[in-house]
Structure 1
Amino acid sequence: MVTDNPSVVAGAPLLSVVDVSKSFTIHLRGGVRLPVVANVTFDVCSGECLVLGGPSGIGKSSILRMIFGNYAVDTGRILVRDRNTGDVADLASGDPRLVLSLRRDHLGYVSQFLRALPRVSVLDVVAEPLLARGVERKLASNRAAAMLERLNLPSSLFNLPPATFSGGEKQRVNIARGFIIDHPILLLDEPTASLDEANRDVVIGMIREKLAAGTAILGIFHDIPVREAVATKIIDVAAFSTREAA
């Protein structure tokens, strides 16, 4: 992307994962160390949808959680580039303030499951990222409603907490919340797994719009039609999996 800052290199990746490894320590089993992935290395550029492929349990979701800062890394770097200034920050450094700043301004994330506070309405759940950026409440609520309407969630549900919603309804709320901000980088962990065909097609359209706007997307899609519709490149995580090598 061309900017006024000469330090910004055209075509430079917005996300670079460099030699990242991760293991878990099972304290209830005497501190047994369970390696998950090693030497994970790839780039994601503006307008690219890179898909993590491979069977369940191989470490795909763990990679996304490391990039979002939910899991600490054992070794390696996770470099997030500011597409306006060209500045690069290493999320893997573990600085909590840096992680929160990168989430606010650079990293969107749609997980497999909606985690919402009890008694908070759907409209407030979806609008919250906008409110955190200082958007006026009425505007934030209107944008949240428009996003939910696009995902075919009935307006009668907007003022209800999502705890009793169906799996597909919860996932549509999750998607609306993740897509409402124009983050430069978007992480998607099986976003369409609980959706019917009509809503799956809506999400495909939303992903394509993000790509056209220059968003760098890293995703997991076990839904083959979705993967074929949006992927620009697929990486087989088996190449990084220490479980496969065991």
Structure 2
Amino acid sequence: MTFPSLNPDHQPLLVADGVAKSFTMHLRGSIRLPVVENVAFALHPGECVVLGGPSGVGKSSILRMVYGNYALDRGSIRVRDPQDGAMHDLGAGDPRLVLGLRERAIAYVSQFLRAVPRASALDVVAEPLRRRGVAREEAQERASAMLRRLNLSHDMFDLPPATFSGGEKQRVNIARGFLTDHPILLLDEPTASLDAANRDVVVGMIREKLDAGTAILGIFHDEPVRAAVATRILDISSFSARKAA
């Protein structure tokens, strides 16, 4: 199968092929709810592929499958491991492979921050670097710089994000996701709860990632942001298992 790309000379970092997903409602007589079928696309270095289509068509489900949160019914999601350069099928469901690819290949900014209770904002942001063996002082310095760039008050760095507003939590979430150099970055409506000034900051950060060769797969309901960062829009309606309904 041939996939379109704005970077045809580069090998893909991610390839989804024949992916299908449904949910079974066990408390409602095991009713099966199909979501998507025959999903096929490739993601290359330096491009921002935006998942488009109406609400409920399966965009967030695709992101969660790519991150290994949702199992696949059928198909494959192959991810290039920067450690050995090989493509590994994340969709096969091997938990060790999923965790390894998250550590080395895929960063994810979800819609909602999930942080260890009572951990400070600074430690929450620095934690991915600490897992990679970066010294605590260096990790915190880099985390601090990222939080300052996102206009979070220094007085809040040592406070747990559970006490923050929605927009403040999301800035912590964005700082954490953008801090590392993972080759693939997943973004699920990262600017939805941000003011205009911080949306502009995030647009600049996305463009810097693209210039550095990061491959981004995202959902952006904010039209100006989508127009500013998208290199390609993939209409998920064409993969919807409910389109005939």
TM superposition score normalised by structure 1: 0.95
Q: Does 1:88 align with 2:87?
A: yes
Counterparts of residues 45-64 of structure 1 (less than 5 Å) = 45-64=44-63
Show structure 1 runs of 5+ residues with no match.
Answer: 1-8
- 2:119 aligned residue: 120
Q: Does 1:79 align with 2:78?
A: yes
Q: Is the 8 A contact 2:83 2:104 kept in 1?
A: no
Looking at structure 2, the residues matched to 83 and 54 of structure 1 have their Cα atoms a distance apart, in angstroms, of 31
> Structure 1 counterpart of 2:76, which letter?
R
- Partner SS for 1:245: coil
Looking at structure 1, the residues matched to 65 and 23 of structure 2 have their Cα atoms a distance apart, in angstroms, of 12
Deviation at 1:243, TM superposition (A): 1.8
1:150-180 Cα offsets, whole Å, 9 max, x none, are: 0000010000001121110000000000000
Name the count of aligned residue pairs: 238
Q: Does 1:147 align with 2:140?
A: no
Deviation at 1:128, TM superposition (A): 0.5
- 2:238 aligned residue: 239
- Partner SS for 1:242: coil
- 2:168 aligned residue: 169
1:118-165 Cα offsets, whole Å, 9 max, x none, are: 111101100000000010001001110000000000010000001121
- Partner SS for 2:46: coil
- 1:16 aligned residue: 15
The alignment yields a C-alpha RMSD, in angstroms, of 1.1
> Structure 2 counterpart of 1:135, which letter?
V
- 1:129 aligned residue: 128
1:65-106 Cα offsets, whole Å, 9 max, x none, are: 000000001001001113574311110010000000000000
Q: Is the 8 A contact 1:14 1:83 kept in 2?
A: no
Q: Is the 8 A contact 1:77 1:92 kept in 2?
A: yes
> Structure 2 counterpart of 1:241, which letter?
S
Deviation at 1:20, TM superposition (A): 0.3
- Partner SS for 2:242: helix
TM superposition score normalised by structure 2: 0.95
- 2:98 aligned residue: 99
